[in-house]
Structure 1
Amino acid sequence: MSSSGVLSPNRSLRQVKSISQVHVDDLNITSILSNRGITIHVDHEIDADEAMVLAMGYKQEFKREFSLLTVFAVSFSVLGLLPSIAACFDYQQLVVGISPVPWIVAVIFVTSVSMSLAEVASAFPVSSGTPYAVSQLAPPSCKAFLTWLTCWANWLCQITAAPSVNYSGASMILALVAYNNPNFTVTTGKVYGVTTGINIVHGIISSMPTKFLARFNTVGTSVNIIFLVVVFVIILAGNDRLNIYNGEIPKFNSNSVAWSFDNMTDYPLGISFLMSFLGVIWSMSGYDSPFHLAEECSNAALAAPKAIILTSSVGGFIGFLFMIAISYTLVDIQQIAEDPQGLGQPFVTYLTQIASKKLVNAATALTIVSSFFMGCSCMLAASRVTFAYSRDGLFPLSKYWKIVTPLTQTPINAVWINLFISQLLLLLMFAGDVAIGAIFSVGGIAGFTSFTAPTLLKITYARDKFKPGPVNLGRWSTPVGAVSVAFVTLMIPILCMPYVKGKNLNNEEMNWTALVFFGPMLLATIYYFVAANKWYSGPKSNVNEEDLAYGDSYQEYEGLPIGEKTSSKIDHKDAPDSL
């Protein structure tokens, strides 16, 4: 097909090889350019993916070198089951004991959230993610404000991911050193220093070209899967409890022990059970990454949502098997909480209860390597979010953070401003273990809030307006969405609760989540009503104005963003066949 060709609307989008015009309204999508009779003219041959992103209002600025497999690789690497499970001992096993029941119950609801998110990602395959969807589904009177809040919530989720993962990885490194050298003392300063080193290495890697990043994350996913299996085998086959405890306990726990609860909070078991969901929520929080890589992914409307569903379902199942392995082998949960060896990392302490020194070293080392790949994937995803929101003018100095470096064709500035903010967040560790734990809770709340905002709108105000993409839930869309919204509404206050109450509650035991999450959200709200409402209207198209042609019945107002031009329905009967 020549560069001057156009495509008839009755042909499949995937059948087109190259076109030079995109008639937005014929794509049957909802975007910041739709319902305005807009035709986008381009000066080069484009494929279906570029046609879609143009119709969404954005230029194609990245190379689409991620496939379904490689975008799933990034997502599964961000999920990082092995290091996530290791990092979340404090938030699951040390809350209600060793039973795997909280995992499977929480995963059911987390999967419902991910399925609703996948449906949204298929309809709006742009790296802006859920805020873009909110801007198209919210009532006109408040869409700018709701989009603004969703942006900030999602950004807080992304910006806390890498530092929390790398903090956990650094803790495991130092725990391994302390395990092998009793004279070594783990200090907060040492943990901060090692975490900083990991962050810098990840910043360098995340600044590389997309092709390298796709290959690197494929390797990372392979490593994560292989190491997960190896550590799983170490836990079960390498279980040496009989020798370690001189036959005083059996090789495996009985069913009654493995599935039992040990409430370690000041609340009733039911509340503690819900509080332990934080471990599952945080461990499973990487499934949104394909959404933010949609503009670097081939056939994004299919690949991105499929990768989201694959990540949550495969991750949930494998994680449950891992929980079972832990529940049947763990010896003494109270000893892990007390940390008599001063290792500072509960998962490593758990391994010392069941395995020989050689296997403890091996399992911990493999978990550290997996954590490294996971942290790098988190930083990559976060940089794309910062880029996308800067493109819409969300942040101060956005013009710098939205720059795509020509040499690598990646948003390097976004990578490094994220790294700087990560370092500031990590200063929380000097306020104590509970304070640094807030970045885990914030990741859960912020992610849930942003993931579910478009789902809420989709099943309420925009129920008759939402145009699903090729991956959708059909008649199950509303029921699944309702379950997702209800679950998130329940969990937000639960995740803000301290683990102790009454006379046991002090500054060190206080849950800082409310301050770390709602504090920035309050500031963002104040900023919006004081200043941002004067210029922020939601996602802004960066397609050149001279490349747009409007139908005869569309009135254009100079000086306004494309998303604010007024319009009425156009008749295309005299227009050429279009895409």
Structure 2
Amino acid sequence: MATAPRRRSVAEEPVTSVLPGGDVPYDPTHEFNADDEVLAALGYKSEFKREFSLFTTFCVSFAVLGLLPSFASTLYYGMGYAGTAGMTWGWIIAMVGIQSVAMSMAELCSSMPTSGGLYYAAAVLAPPGWGPFAAWITGWSNWLAQVTAAPSVNYGTSAMILASASIQNPSYVPTDYQTFLLTVFIMLIHGVMSSFPTKWLAQVNSFGSTFNFFALIIVIILIPAGTDRVARGLPKFAPSSEVWGTIYEGTTFPPGISVLMSFIGVIWTMSGYDSPFHLAEECSNANIASPRAIVMTSATGGVFGWFLQLVVAYTVVDIDGVLESDLGQPFAAYLVQCMPQKMALAILSLTIIAGFAMGQGCMIAASRVTFAYARDDCFPFSNFIKVVNKKTATPVNAVWFNCIIGILLLLLIFAGSIAIGALFSIGAIAAFVAFTIPIFIRVFFVGNRFRAGPWHLGKFSIPLGVIASAFVIMMVPILCLPSVTGSDLTAEDMNWTCLVYGGPMLFVIIWWFISARKWFKGPKVNIEHMMLGREAVLN
């Protein structure tokens, strides 16, 4: 009877380091634990304290996902493009593609639990000679998503705070200048908080994520229980035929395209589940805990996000009134429409606190991504950005580098609502392009040679990877469409996503061919990485 082969330690695997200057991440005087061995086999030495567990990693990830504040910030797109139909069955369709992306990403994370995440995976899995270019494109796209996350979330939070003031004092109308200053103030608070030690961050984000989850449950219960539609001469809930069957004409495109365009709300809301990948070097048992946290975040967010969509879809009174309200924040306008003022303010307060926690989580995740890329000299001034603070053992310089760029991006507030709204669509496209590049390479170039980690999809790996790739390829051009066409299209109505995302990415590609290809070699990967099934060892 055959016996199962003994599981070997990573330290026993035939790996060959190619780090420059003989900087092999192995110290014979240091007793490596399992996580250190995995990281060493990937070509890095451990630099962080592993004080994140499965639960605390999930907490940061769920805080970054921020269902309640994300939904509130993107209601304009989810409801405005296709109405309640896009919010109900549209969410289900979108989640098929999103969950496929999340599970395929989790499989990569289990095999390569490093804070470089998708960037590292793209470099390792790419065909020979293409690794640095794949890492370059993936890294910059992912960084654009990360660096726009905190400012877009905090902009939404600021808009809700000022809308609350308008609800209490109808004569007050927030100005762009006030919105900008309040958002910058929140960014600075998050910058200070994100500079603290990992253990403190884990505790704070555990609280923030727990609050986020319970606030979501409370809101899902309060909205149907507290709606006063009956007092307004309406049934307590809208009829299902209207909610599921009527597509709001929020664009001049055919209804099917309008529903697809409404997916920007789903995609942006559900784009935070990659955080466990970037926190893998600070997580214990990372090659199992981190992928589990990815799947838990996406699945939990998908289910509860749909419930939230349903309660809003069944209680909204007037979609036009929500979108065109003087409050300047659609979620606040919706709450005022369908429930008493005090309850509306209570729900808005819960959403604001959850939004603050979400912005904090986004700042942390972005700093880890920036550190990982700077460690491989991807940015100008990488030597400064990649410094780990000796007192806090966290990448403080990366935190403030992102914070300053985020504040500069907030100047788009003064260019109008369409321009600042591009931050949301940029985040959606940039994140999902970065998510899918290594998945696409793994499915269509590596195939069965892929060596999975302890958490894997088995026979479903290739089919789910195909679905994930097809979904993103379809959605990228859809998310660049303007809401109006023909002679009605003006500069103010133009969707600036293709310019604000495409411009920097075009610059990055030109930079690659002119200069970067000569000096950027990608992450310092181990060229005998076992996931590709290469059994030979270099001499």
TM above 0.5: yes
CA distance in 2, matches of 1:304, 1:420: 29
Conservation of the 8 A alpha-carbon contact between 2:374 and 2:383: yes
Deviation of the 1:460 alpha carbon: 1.3
CA offset digits 1:221-280 (Å, max 9, x no partner): 11001111111122011111122x1xx211111111221221210111011010000000
Match of 1:546 in 2: none
Does structure 1 residue 25 correspond to structure 2 residue 20? Answer: no
SS at match of 1:43: coil
Deviation of the 1:12 alpha carbon: 5.5
SS at match of 1:437: helix
CA distance in 2, matches of 1:201, 1:41: 39
SS at match of 2:28: strand
Identity value in percent: 48
Query: Cα distance 1:93–1:147, how it changes in 2: closer, same or farther (>3 A)?
Result: same
Query: Cα distance 1:468–1:403, how it changes in 2: closer, same or farther (>3 A)?
Result: same
Max radius of gyration: which structure?
A: 1
Does structure 1 residue 433 correspond to structure 2 residue 417? Answer: yes
CA offset digits 1:421-465 (Å, max 9, x no partner): 101111112111111111111111111111111111111111133
Match of 2:77 in 1: 91
CA distance in 1, matches of 2:360, 2:269: 16
Match of 1:452 in 2: 436
Match of 1:314 in 2: 300
Query: Cα distance 1:39–1:269, how it changes in 2: closer, same or farther (>3 A)?
Result: closer
CA distance in 1, matches of 2:433, 2:71: 23
Query: Cα distance 1:571–1:328, how it changes in 2: closer, same or farther (>3 A)?
Result: closer
SS at match of 1:518: helix
CA distance in 2, matches of 1:482, 1:234: 40
SS at match of 2:29: strand
Match of 1:161 in 2: 149
CA distance in 2, matches of 1:368, 1:153: 28
Alignment of 1:474-489 (within 5 A): 474-489=458-473
- 1:284 pairs, out of 270, 280, 284, with 270
Deviation of the 1:353 alpha carbon: 1.0
The structure where helix makes up a greater share of residues is 2
CA distance in 2, matches of 1:325, 1:94: 16
How many pairs does the alignment contain?
A: 525
Q: Structure 2 regions of 5+ residues with no counterpart? A: none
Does structure 1 residue 252 correspond to structure 2 residue 237? Answer: yes
Match of 2:102 in 1: 114
CA distance in 2, matches of 1:407, 1:119: 34
Does structure 1 residue 530 correspond to structure 2 residue 497? Answer: no
Deviation of the 1:412 alpha carbon: 0.3
Report the more deviating stretch, 283-292 or 429-438: 429-438
Deviation of the 1:414 alpha carbon: 0.2
Alignment of 1:132-151 (within 5 A): 132-151=120-139
Does structure 1 residue 495 correspond to structure 2 residue 479? Answer: yes
Paired residue type of 2:536: K
Paired residue type of 2:186: I
- 2:368 pairs, out of 384, 402, 423, with 384
Deviation of the 1:46 alpha carbon: 2.0
Query: Cα distance 1:387–1:39, how it changes in 2: closer, same or farther (>3 A)?
Result: closer
Alignment of 1:236-247 (within 5 A): 236-243=224-231, 245=232
Match of 1:184 in 2: 172
Deviation of the 1:218 alpha carbon: 0.5
Alignment of 1:531-546 (within 5 A): 531-540=515-524
CA distance in 2, matches of 1:375, 1:568: 44
Match of 2:536 in 1: 569
CA distance in 2, matches of 1:292, 1:460: 24
CA distance in 2, matches of 1:455, 1:31: 25
User: Please, what is the CA RMSD of the aligned residues?
Assistant: 2.2
Conservation of the 8 A alpha-carbon contact between 1:144 and 1:537: yes
Match of 1:224 in 2: 212
Conservation of the 8 A alpha-carbon contact between 2:25 and 2:43: no
CA distance in 2, matches of 1:32, 1:458: 23
Does structure 1 residue 401 correspond to structure 2 residue 389? Answer: no
Deviation of the 1:534 alpha carbon: 1.2
Does structure 1 residue 101 correspond to structure 2 residue 97? Answer: no
CA distance in 2, matches of 1:571, 1:390: 28
Does structure 1 residue 199 correspond to structure 2 residue 187? Answer: yes
The alignment's TM-score, normalised by the length of structure 2, stands at 0.94
CA distance in 1, matches of 2:14, 2:379: 31
- 1:209 pairs, out of 187, 197, 211, with 197
